[in-house]
Amino acid sequence: MTYGELAKRVAKLRHRTSMSAQVVGNAVGKNHLSLFIPCHRVIGAHGNLTGYGGGLARKVALLELEGHLACDFSWPS
């Protein structure tokens, strides 16, 4: 799921017309319950790996542990 997709879902739940993907990204970045709400699964709009509080290497490790291949994602430049 991308930040934009997540923003659309949250906006719909809150009966709003839209919500910024950046706002969602900021909220995900402050998530202290990452074991219960797996923010490592959120990716950029073009399938790229974006920031993760535990570092991108840990994000990739978690995704691979769940059966996703690192080659499915692009690294930020």
More confident: 43 or 16: 16
Q: Classify burial at 10, counting beta carbons within 10 Å of its beta carbon; exposed 0-12, middle 13-18, buried 19 or more.
A: middle
- Mean per-residue pLDDT, 15-31: 85
pTM of the predicted structure, to 2 decimals: 0.55
Mean pLDDT confidence for 45-60? 82
Q: Is 71 a catalytic residue?
A: no
Pick the catalytic residue from 6, 24, 28, 39: 39
Mean pLDDT of 72-77: 70
3-state secondary structure of 61: helix
Residue at token pair 């659309």: 8
For residue 39 the two structure tokens come to 């923010």
Residue 52 pLDDT exceeds 90: no
